[in-house]
Amino acid sequence: MSKKIHKIAVIPGDGIGKEVMPEGLRVLRAAAERFGIELQLTPIAWASCDYYQATGAMMPDDWKAQLQSQDAILFGAVGWPATVPDHVSLWGSLLKFRREFDQYINLRPVRLFEGVPCPLAGRKPGEIDYFVVRENTEGEYTKLGGIMYEGTEREIVIQESVYSRFGSDRVLKYAFELARSRERKHLTVATKSNGIAISMPWWDGRADAVGAAYPEVTVDKQHIDILSARFVLQPQGFDVVVASNLFGDILSDLGPATTGTIGLAPSANLNPERNFPSLFEPVHGSAPDIYGRNIANPVAMIWSAALMLDFLGHREAHDAIVTAIEQVLVEGPRTGDLGGQASTTEMGEAIAARLGA
């Protein structure tokens, strides 16, 4: 029987996305070679602010047709505010992918690794090890609203948030399933039902309704403010955290920051039904402040590539990449955010070498 060839669209995007992507590909190719995985990589230069500057749009009109036939998308970062406003670049690329390809789960692992100095005093690997499950297609991320009396003293701006039963139930169900599959079987529901008095009590109620089918999962609901404090003060209390789009975005930067650096944090934008390609990207953005120096940490990109292989059915290859990352974080070389002096390329090469490249 012939082997499946996985078709992967490769979109570096902007800023350090262009520097970490080659390292993601280096390690991906090494893992593919070692485990006999066939990949067809298609490099794509659009979904970037360079493309916007050249054409006036972030993507070509037929972007969906071009990507629809792919098995997955590996994405670097988007945003170059010096030339394109951030809301234009984000809505013109990444948010289109998430919505049009119904990638309604944004799965973001948070883990403290051996060898990485933890900014939280006394924390050891194993004490920070949880997932943030972020709702990825609705919530606070909308363009619903408008401005009245613009430019006058009476200026009014309204921006709506949207929470559908369909959209909330499916992300809650995914989070309960994930929690049930883990040893601790604990789910934290991020909420703010004292202050946001309509949608958040409703979200809590949906968690109760969906959770009725998961009696083995323990649940606690925490207001986002105290939950954020506990990410810092008691991170060992978390196992799976489910949150709305904005809350999940904030938590999944805060969580990795408590593990030493956001440069380690990967993410998977999943369409679990596989009707559309899923997208894998580092949590970090394009980091214009460090772009061009080859000093960005490539681990988030490399770990994202590993999550992609796992989603495509190659758990062994995923595990081998994570093991290689673990080894390099202990033994070096390390980039500056980890206290070392290595370049992006050196760290990528070291991880690939442990896979036999």
Beta bridge partners of 127: none
Long-range contacts of 93-96 (CB under 8 A, 24+ apart): 93/13, 93/47, 93/48, 93/58, 93/59, 94/47, 94/279, 94/281, 95/141, 96/59, 96/63
Instruction: Give least dist CB 189 to ligand GGG, A.
Output: 20
Shortest gap between Cβ of 78 and ligand GGG (angstroms)?
4
Please report, as residue ranges, which positions from 185 to 244 form the binding site for ligand GGG (by CB under 6 A): none
Residue choice 9, 11, 77, 325 for contact with ligand GGG (CB under 6 A): 77
Distance CA 90, CA 344 (A): 25
**Three-state DSSP class for residue 223:** strand
Tell me whether residue 92 or residue 285 sits nearer to ligand GGG (CB atom).
285
Q: By C-beta, is 77 or 290 nearer to ligand GGG?
A: 77
Quick one: which H or E segment has residue 6? Answer: strand 5-13
- Count of residues binding ligand GGG (CB under 6 A)? 10
Backbone region of residue 339 per phi and psi (left: phi > 0; alpha: psi in -120 to 50; beta: other values): left
Is there a contact between 251 and 231 (Cβ–Cβ < 8 Å)? yes
CA nearest neighbour of 13 among 90, 68, 85: 90
CB of 282 to ligand GGG, least distance (A): 5
User: Could you tell me if 314 and 43 are in contact, meaning their C-beta atoms sit under 8 angstroms apart?
Assistant: no
Name the one range near ligand GGG by CB under 6 A: 18-26, 229-237, 281-289, 321-329.
281-289
Q: Does position 78 bind ligand GGG by CB under 6 A?
A: yes
Q: How far apart are CA 218 and CA 176, in angstroms?
A: 10
Burial track 96-111 (b if 16+ CB lie within 10 A, e otherwise): bbbeebbbbbbbbbbb
Q: Which residues lie across from 11 on neighbouring strands?
A: 75
Q: How far is the CB of 27 from ligand GGG (least distance, A)?
A: 17
Question: What CA–CA distance (Å, rounded) separates 99 from 58?
Answer: 16
Residues present in the chain in total = 357
Closest CB to ligand GGG among residues 20, 219: 20
Which residue stretch of 41-49, 116-124, 280-288, 316-324 sits at the interface with ligand GGG (rule: CB under 6 A)?
Answer: 280-288
Which of 12, 24, 79, 277 binds ligand GGG (CB under 6 A)? It is 79
Among 19, 129, 138, 281, contact with ligand GGG (rule: CB under 6 A): 281
| Only segment of 64-72, 76-84, 179-187, 189-197 that touches ligand GGG (CB under 6 A) | 76-84
Supply the minimum distance, in Å, between the C-beta of residue 264 and ligand GGG: 13
The two three-digit tokens of residue 75, written as one number = 């994405």
| DSSP codes of every residue in 291-326 | TTSS-S--HHHHHHHHHHHHHTT-HHHHHHHHHHHH
Name residues contacting ligand GGG, limited to 285-304 (CB under 6 A).
Answer: 285-286
Q: Are strands 145-148 and 156-159 parallel, antiparallel or unpaired?
A: antiparallel
Stretch that binds ligand GGG, among 74-82, 142-150, 227-235, 333-341 (CB under 6 A): 74-82
Residue of 41, 57, 88, 90 that binds ligand GGG (CB under 6 A): 90
* Least distance between ligand GGG and beta carbon 90 (Å): 5
User: Which one of 72-80, 186-194, 210-218, 343-351 is the stretch in contact with ligand GGG (CB under 6 A)?
Assistant: 72-80
Tokens found for residue 271: 């369409």
Q: For the chain, how are helix, strand and coil distributed in percent, rounded to 5?
A: 40, 20, 40
Smallest distance, Å, CB 195 to ligand GGG? 22
322 C-beta neighbours (distance < 10 Å), count: 19
> Distance from CA of residue 59 to its chain's centroid?
21
What is the closest distance, in whole angstroms, from the C-beta atom of residue 155 to ligand GGG in the complex?
26
Least gap, CB of 115 to ligand GGG (angstroms): 24
In the complex, minimum distance from the CB of residue 72 to ligand GGG, in angstroms, rounded to a whole number: 15
* Binding positions for ligand GGG, rule: CB under 6 A: 77-79, 90, 249, 281-282, 284-286
